[in-house]
Amino acid sequence: MPKKILLVVGLLIGLSLVAAGYMLDAELKAAAIHDDQDVIAVTRGMALDEILSKLESKHILRKAFILKLYVRLSGLKPVIRAGDYKFASPITPLQVLQTLEAGGIELNKLTVIEGWTRFEIADAMAKIKSLKVDRKQALALMNKTSLIADIDPMVQNLEGYLFPDTYFVQSDTKAEELIEAMVERFRKVWGKLANPYKLTAHKAITMASIIETEAKLAEERPIVASVINNRIARRMPLAMDSTIVYASKMIGKWKGNGIVYQSDLDLKSPYNTRKYYGLPPGPVGSPGQSSINAALMPASSSYIYYVRDPAYNNGKHNFYSNPQDFEVGVQKLRAWEASQKRNSH
Question: Please, what is the angle between helix 48-57 and helix 64-74, to 10°?
Answer: 150
Q: 272: closest CA among 315, 233, 238?
A: 238
Read off φ and ψ for residue 36, nearest 5 degrees. -75, 0
Read off φ and ψ for residue 53, nearest 5 degrees. -65, -40
**Secondary structure of residue 57 in the 3-state scheme:** helix
Average pLDDT for the chain: 92
CA separation for the pair 46, 68 (Å, rounded): 14
- Express as a percent the part of the chain with pLDDT over 70: 93
The predicted-structure confidence for 37-54, as pLDDT tens digits, reads as follows: 788 989 988 999 999 999
Read off φ and ψ for residue 286, nearest 5 degrees. -100, 105
CA separation for the pair 73, 309 (Å, rounded): 67
CATH number of 24-102: 3.30.1490.480
CA separation for the pair 220, 314 (Å, rounded): 12
Residue range 84-107: mean pLDDT, rounded? 90
Q: How confident is the model at residue 105 (pLDDT cuts 50, 70, 90)?
A: confident
Q: 210: closest CA among 122, 110, 145, 306?
A: 306
pLDDT at res. 341 = 82
Sequence-ordered strand ranges (E) for the chain:
40-42, 83-85, 107-111, 166-170, 305-308, 317-320
Residue range 207-222: mean pLDDT, rounded? 98
Residue scoring higher pLDDT (345 or 214): 214
Taking 80 as the threshold, does the pLDDT of residue 20 lie above it? no
pLDDT at res. 7 = 61
The predicted-structure confidence for 127-177, as pLDDT tens digits, reads as follows: 999 999 999 999 999 999 999 999 999 999 999 999 999 999 988 899 999
Residue range 260-278: mean pLDDT, rounded? 95
pLDDT at res. 8 = 54
Residue range 226-238: mean pLDDT, rounded? 97
Taking 90 as the threshold, does the pLDDT of residue 17 lie above it? no
Whole-model pTM: value is 0.80
pLDDT at res. 90 = 94
- Measured over the CA atoms of residue 51, residue 56, residue 59 and residue 61, the dihedral's sign is positive
Separation of CA 136 from chain center: 23
pLDDT at res. 311 = 87
CA separation for the pair 309, 328 (Å, rounded): 12
Taking 60 as the threshold, does the pLDDT of residue 19 lie above it? no
The predicted-structure confidence for 110-127, as pLDDT tens digits, reads as follows: 999 999 999 999 999 999
CA separation for the pair 99, 96 (Å, rounded): 5
Q: How confident is the model at residue 343 (pLDDT cuts 50, 70, 90)?
A: confident
Give residue limits of the domains in the chain: 24-102, 107-182, 305-345
Residue range 279-303: mean pLDDT, rounded? 98
Whether residue 227 contacts residue 319, with contact meaning beta carbons closer than 8 Å, is answered with: yes
Q: Which helix (H) or strand (E) segment is 182 a member of?
A: helix 175-191
- Measured over the CA atoms of residue 326, residue 330, residue 336 and residue 339, the dihedral's sign is negative
pLDDT at res. 3 = 65
Q: How confident is the model at residue 344 (pLDDT cuts 50, 70, 90)?
A: confident
DSSP-derived pairing of the beta strands 317-320 and 107-111: unpaired
